[in-house]
Structure 1
Amino acid sequence: MTDASLPLAGDFPPASHADWLALVEKALDGAPFDKKLVARTLDGIAIQPLYTREHWPAEGDPSGMPGAMPFTRGGRPLAQAMSGWDIRQPHANPDVAATQAAMDDDLDNGVTSLLLRLDAAGRAGLDADDPAAADLFGEGGLSLSSVAEMDALLSGVDLTSVPLAFDAGAQAPTLAAMTVALWCQRGVKEEQARGAFNIDPLGTLATAGRLPADLDTTLGRMAAIARNAATTFPKGAVTAVGVDTAPYYNAGASEAQDLACAMATGVAYLRALEAGGLSLDDASRQIAFTVSLGTDQLLSIAKLRAARLMWARITEACGVGEPARAARIHAVTATRVLTRRDPWVNLLRGTISCFSAAVGGADGITVPPHDAALGLPTRFSRRIARNTQLILQEESQLNRVIDPAGGSWALEHLTEDLAGAAWTLFQAIEADGGMARALESGRIAEQIAEVREARRKDIAKRKAPITGVSEFAKLDEQAPELAALDLSALRAAAGTRLATTRASATADPGALGATATPADLATAAIKGATLGALAQATTDGTGTTVAPLPPHSLAEDFEALRDAADAHLTATGARPRVFLANLGPIAHHTARATYAANLFAAGGIESLTNEGFRDADACAAAFKDSGAGAAVLCSSDKVYDDLAEATARALKAAGCRVVLLAGRPGDKQDAYTAAGIDRFIYMGCDVLGTLRGLHADLGVTSR
């Protein structure tokens, strides 16, 4: 034993970033460093392959300490180290009994708050039994038409300990009044209430394209509810206002665009709340952010850190006191990354986004069940979704280290770059009149559409692959079982409950008017006024309309091909097929045959394989017997030189409608084309365009 230290690097000369770069350029052998090793996001942010101390600001750590300006490292000194993050599970099943059982199951097994999502009827301000709600009942959420229904739904939930959060669109103010009424009815004390009403008029406008009242009136009503919440419920335990980035992110926004929209929305709400009589500190505390995350781990971590940094700088400039500058952030796995095909892979997507949210310091996290893109989740899928969070928190203990990303040169640099890019976009929105004006003019929609189109091109070429859909698709996959519903029976039952409620109601919603206070609405709700009656009483008949931002999933183009191929199978009894014209020994054709089969499966096309052919005539004869309508030549460039042209001619003579070749044609493209080869597939080709063309060639009808 010795006390002497071992200088492990003592025998090696010190190496600088410049030394490393010289070695890399030598290894690249003339290939451009920026093109080969530097990745770029859709916001134009360069991500270097290596970060060192040279990328750290000379003046020191710009991120500060957790719980202090600029809050990059977290809004509280201890962050989630003591109690972990809030595990919030969404519920949207209109079957009351099923939802009650699901909530009980969640709360008994680790979930700490509930998110209730209102159906399309409720969002439209309609009671379940309203004739206009016939096609809207149960669509996208659960039905809550009265306080009595809320009370029954939440009969097994202790409202003094379980926070409630809502996703109610334009009727968030109405649902807020009903929630306050329920708390009063249940005897929940003001200091015991916990919840997030998530009133988000601009987000609703972006999603639905319409508000039931003009924007100024809507913002004024939001401010009144926030003022009531700030004065009634201590320590910000109940927040009235939500800024949800989902409308922008699910429409295709980049990370910087998403942050810019969130900050511009937050500023608009700060102004409205201040105009409504709140102090800036109270106004800031009444705003909670819900941030959608994708599956890019580094970007997602940086996104949450950049959001806190940006909001802290904005509120500082507005004169908000330091403690109130810390953004409350709930992170959600974005619906745009969830796939309908091979939904089991969504388990991994949820895990990645949850990991990123935890490391990025989210106050709460929602991981949707893996089958959420298909329909209502099952008990199994909900269990896996919550256990994803529990494993990362209880077993991996991600919450135990405060800001584990802090000090990482790569993540600190990316946080600053992302915040800078988002700040530029945020300033542009503000300079043009703010978020409402950006939605009304369509400028935000145009900018998001540009980014989405660039991403679609990357997805089409599999530069941005989607596992299980555009890559490694499984044609014989079995879809998971989903919860089945009888919406007619559920709506009839809801109508019966509403009839009982109305029979005992003592409220006169018609007397409320547009100037009704939050207390007036809550009182009317306690006296039996239904959601539809409250919504009607507070609608001024003017409304605000814009062109809504349509949601898109990343996988939708490829999934449309799979849908069309499945319909072809149903109609004809067989999938569209491509014959793998494998040429030469197996060692020559295996790699490209595997690549081709993987590519075709992404379009729902079956590949018919074989052990290979030594000559063109044998290949053409096997093709004719296969019944396929197309063929792809698969082999090495050496074998192509000998057999490709002759085989293509033979295939065409045998009735092959389209011949493809796996590999780049290089300087032989003209000769190959003249021989009858119609298309070429290779790494970086337009896979989506190729598959669409094959569908047309094989008689598959687009959907």
Structure 2
Amino acid sequence: MALSFSGPESFFAADEEAWWSAVDKALKGAAREKLTSKTDDGLAIAPLYSNRTDVSARSLRPQRGDWIVSQRIDLADLTEANAQILEDLTGGASGLDLVVDGTGTAAGRGIRVSSADDFAALYKGVQPDLIETRLDAGAQSFQVLSLFFDYLKAEKLDPANVHVTVSHDPNVDKGTGDVSAAVKETAAKCISAGSLARFLTADGQVWHNAGASQAQELALVLASAVAHLRSLETTDLDPETWTDRISLTLVADADQFGTIAKARAMRKLWASVLKGAGLPQRPANLHMTTSRRMLTRRDPWVNLLRNTVASFAAGIGGADGVCVLPHTFAVGVPDAFARRLARNTQAMLLEESNLAKVMDPAAGSGAIEARTEQLCAAAWTLFQEIEAAGGLAAATQNGLVDQRISETKAKLEKDIARRKRPVTGVSEFPDLGEEPVSVLSAAVDTDGGWRYAEPFEALRNAADAHENATGAAPSIFLASLGSLAQFTARATWIANAFAAGGLKTTEAAVYGSVEEMAAAFKDSGAALACIVSSDAVYEAEAEAVAKALTAAGANHLYLAGKPGGQEEAYRAAGVGTFVYAGCDILELLRDAHGQLGLANVEAASDQEGRA
């Protein structure tokens, strides 16, 4: 029998008021505002949006077709880097992000090039006119671009046919000062070589890695791009071609709608700048790279999911090129398998999902259009503040930029500590029995970048160091009260919470008496215990159990759940800490480490980083 969707009871016949009516019943008198959340920029995200009919789809990428699949190359040895390049290109990459040793984004790794011959060795067997090359050599990027031109000349390749971008942003180099002289010299070299190189990039990575929000990243990239336009005034380039010499880089993270909206907002903001400057409207050259700060060292397989969401959002948002950091990037130098997965993430989106075949997939989406407009407004406001302060260099020097980012980072850190912003595989659903992943060499963090998972990973490191030194994992006894039905939910939740700090919990069990439980605690060898059950059971038994566990030698007692009106009584009986959703889990775990006498967590983290 065929199903009909045209009747009055049809899902498709329901209007917005009917939806809200059902919501009001579910809220049971609570305000509708309870369903509205906030972004890191304080922008409201409503629970429901209507489709937008006042917008139309447009071409986001200047050149229709697939976006460029970029692969990061950062091996020091030129022969090994060349082999990596050939494997990546054979495997489907269409662009290379060359990261030179010593740059801010190198993260303790990078290519060592100092001559045209080095480029010849690096590009042996490569046809540079068939791919895009992005060069990041930090403050030496303009010099390295000159070496690249020398290499092209030696190989008798026409620079006009080679797509090259200097991906380093000189405006993020503290102490660099005025770079207009270097820009003028580089522009002259490009003209002399006949190259159409984009030698100026406004890069959002450094701000994102420091803790910037989406609107802050947009504003700072825009401010840097405007500074580039001003520096181009000193060159002999035709003003109508200035925009062709600038590239914009944004970060794509696991906030799917936010990343899509950020990419679309960047194009709108850039168009506004060009209009205000009286320059021709040219589509922004937008490159996106997946977020470093969202990556984890613990359970790095989850990074595959994060990268998939991020690259999907970058493609939907209209990026011209996307670089996916391999899932093991935070662990160390990724091996061939990890790099293959990074390439294939994009290959599946392009070849199997055909994302690049749709002109503007997000057009008309009420949620994404609203988020885009909100980001544009918030970013433009901060951009104007930066300009009023004298531009990006002045705003950086007077502390405006650092202050805004520090405020955002502090809020993020608070949300992470309370698991309001959970890190799957680390602060939520950690796997204490995970196996190590394969990398070419361990990570050495030297770039000052920040990752969400770091504070929890430091605790895990300390717990592992303790187990390796003593042969026993730090553990907490679960004092489960009542029946399985009464304590299982909270026992599972609390075990997950303690595991985020590398602390194992004993298996919850049904005990026949308080004395039996106290004896089990003694036999466990644990120094800490956590009482686990329902609120009703707590009222009847928690005080007696707390006294018995204290008498049995427990150094500190936890209780899973909020105490309500019984807090004073429970504390008097010996309960020291209450663990509940929304509490500062990170601080609680640090205190538990202290109670157990574990090694300094920062020292353990530092030791692992040097391993």
TM-score (norm 1): 0.81
Does 2:428 match 1:471? Answer: yes
Distance 1:242 1:254, change over 3 A: same
1:498-548 deviation digits (Å, cap 9, x = unpaired)? xxxxxxxxxxxxxxxxxxxxxxxxxxxxxxxxxxxxxxxxxxxxxxxxxx9
Equivalent residue, structure 2, for 1:52? 50
Aligned partner of 1:571 among 451, 455, 469: 469
Equivalent residue, structure 1, for 2:167? 198
Distance 1:417 1:342 in 2: 34
Check the 8 A contact 1:300/1:356 in 2, yes or no.
Answer: yes
What is the CA distance between 1:573 and its match in structure 2? 1.9
Distance 1:315 1:227, change over 3 A: farther
Aligned partner of 1:674 among 569, 572, 587: 572
Aligned-partner residue type, residue 599 of structure 1: A
Aligned-partner residue type, residue 668 of structure 1: Q
What is the CA distance between 1:24 and its match in structure 2? 2.1
Distance 2:123 2:430 in 1: 41
What is the CA distance between 1:367 and its match in structure 2? 0.4
Check the 8 A contact 1:251/1:549 in 2, yes or no.
Answer: no
Distance 1:666 1:195, change over 3 A: same
Tell me the SS of whatever aligns to 1:450. helix
Aligned partner of 2:320 among 347, 358, 363: 363
What is the CA distance between 1:279 and its match in structure 2? 3.0
Tell me the SS of whatever aligns to 2:199. strand
What is the CA distance between 1:26 and its match in structure 2? 3.2
Distance 2:180 2:429 in 1: 48
1:309-357 deviation digits (Å, cap 9, x = unpaired)? 00011111101112x2x11111110110111111111111111100000
Aligned partner of 2:510 among 612, 615, 639: 612
Does 2:322 match 1:330? Answer: no
Check the 8 A contact 1:473/1:598 in 2, yes or no.
Answer: yes
Aligned-partner residue type, residue 446 of structure 1: Q
Aligned partner of 1:225 among 171, 186, 194: 186
Equivalent residue, structure 2, for 1:585? 483
Check the 8 A contact 1:580/1:631 in 2, yes or no.
Answer: yes
Unaligned runs of 5+ residues in structure 1 are 1-5, 68-73, 125-135, 488-547
What is the CA distance between 1:276 and its match in structure 2? 2.3
Equivalent residue, structure 2, for 1:636? 534
Q: How many residues align?
A: 597
Tell me the SS of whatever aligns to 2:293. helix
Distance 1:25 1:602, change over 3 A: same
Equivalent residue, structure 2, for 1:8? 6
Alignment of 1:204-353 (within 5 A): 205=173, 209-211=174-176, 215-216=177-178, 218-229=179-190, 232-233=193-194, 236=196, 238-322=197-281, 324=282, 326-353=283-310
Tell me the SS of whatever aligns to 2:456. helix
Aligned-partner residue type, residue 555 of structure 2: R
What is the CA distance between 1:615 and its match in structure 2? 2.2
More moved, 431-440 vs 272-281: 272-281
- Which structure is richer in relative contact order (CA contacts within 8 A, separation 6 or more)? 1
Equivalent residue, structure 1, for 2:37? 39
Equivalent residue, structure 2, for 1:446? 403
Alignment of 1:15-26 (within 5 A): 16-26=15-25
Distance 2:360 2:191 in 1: 29
Distance 1:137 1:396 in 2: 32
Equivalent residue, structure 1, for 2:157? 188
Aligned partner of 1:424 among 359, 367, 381: 381
Distance 1:292 1:230, change over 3 A: farther
Aligned-partner residue type, residue 130 of structure 2: S
Equivalent residue, structure 2, for 1:132? none
Check the 8 A contact 1:229/1:239 in 2, yes or no.
Answer: no
Distance 1:549 1:268, change over 3 A: farther
Tell me the SS of whatever aligns to 2:217. helix
Distance 1:233 1:351, change over 3 A: farther
What is the CA distance between 1:481 and its match in structure 2? 1.7
Distance 1:634 1:374 in 2: 36
Distance 1:191 1:261 in 2: 31
Aligned partner of 1:111 among 81, 93, 98: 93
Check the 8 A contact 1:230/1:282 in 2, yes or no.
Answer: no
Check the 8 A contact 1:193/1:233 in 2, yes or no.
Answer: no
Aligned-partner residue type, residue 370 of structure 1: H
Check the 8 A contact 2:498/2:589 in 1, yes or no.
Answer: yes
Equivalent residue, structure 2, for 1:539? none
Alignment of 1:620-699 (within 5 A): 620-699=518-597
Distance 1:605 1:563, change over 3 A: same
Tell me the SS of whatever aligns to 1:160. helix
Alignment of 1:454-533 (within 5 A): 454-484=411-441
Aligned partner of 1:96 among 75, 78, 94: 78
Check the 8 A contact 1:93/1:138 in 2, yes or no.
Answer: no
Distance 1:693 1:456, change over 3 A: same
Check the 8 A contact 1:341/1:469 in 2, yes or no.
Answer: yes
Check the 8 A contact 2:57/2:360 in 1, yes or no.
Answer: no
Distance 1:102 1:441 in 2: 43
Check the 8 A contact 1:280/1:319 in 2, yes or no.
Answer: no
Equivalent residue, structure 2, for 1:393? 350
What is the CA distance between 1:228 and its match in structure 2? 4.1
Equivalent residue, structure 2, for 1:376? 333
What is the CA distance between 1:629 and its match in structure 2? 1.1
What is the CA distance between 1:9 and its match in structure 2? 5.0
More moved, 183-192 vs 251-260: 183-192
Aligned-partner residue type, residue 207 of structure 2: Y
Percent of aligned pairs sharing the same letter: 41
Equivalent residue, structure 1, for 2:136? 167
Equivalent residue, structure 1, for 2:608? none
Does 2:111 match 1:142? Answer: yes
What is the CA distance between 1:479 and its match in structure 2? 1.3
Tell me the SS of whatever aligns to 1:88. strand
Check the 8 A contact 1:94/1:138 in 2, yes or no.
Answer: no
Unaligned runs of 5+ residues in structure 2 are 603-611
Aligned partner of 2:120 among 151, 158, 169: 151
What is the CA distance between 1:257 and its match in structure 2? 0.3
What is the CA distance between 1:550 and its match in structure 2? 4.2
Distance 1:50 1:233, change over 3 A: farther
Aligned partner of 1:433 among 390, 393, 412: 390
Distance 1:356 1:233, change over 3 A: farther
1:530-580 deviation digits (Å, cap 9, x = unpaired)? xxxxxxxxxxxxxxxxxx994211111111111111121222222211011
Distance 1:314 1:9, change over 3 A: farther
Distance 1:260 1:230, change over 3 A: farther
Distance 1:472 1:670, change over 3 A: same
Equivalent residue, structure 1, for 2:609? none
Distance 1:386 1:646 in 2: 59
TM-score (norm 2): 0.93
What is the CA distance between 1:484 and its match in structure 2? 4.2
Pairwise CA RMSD? 2.3
Equivalent residue, structure 1, for 2:607? none
Aligned-partner residue type, residue 301 of structure 1: I
Tell me the SS of whatever aligns to 1:343. coil
Aligned-partner residue type, residue 334 of structure 1: S
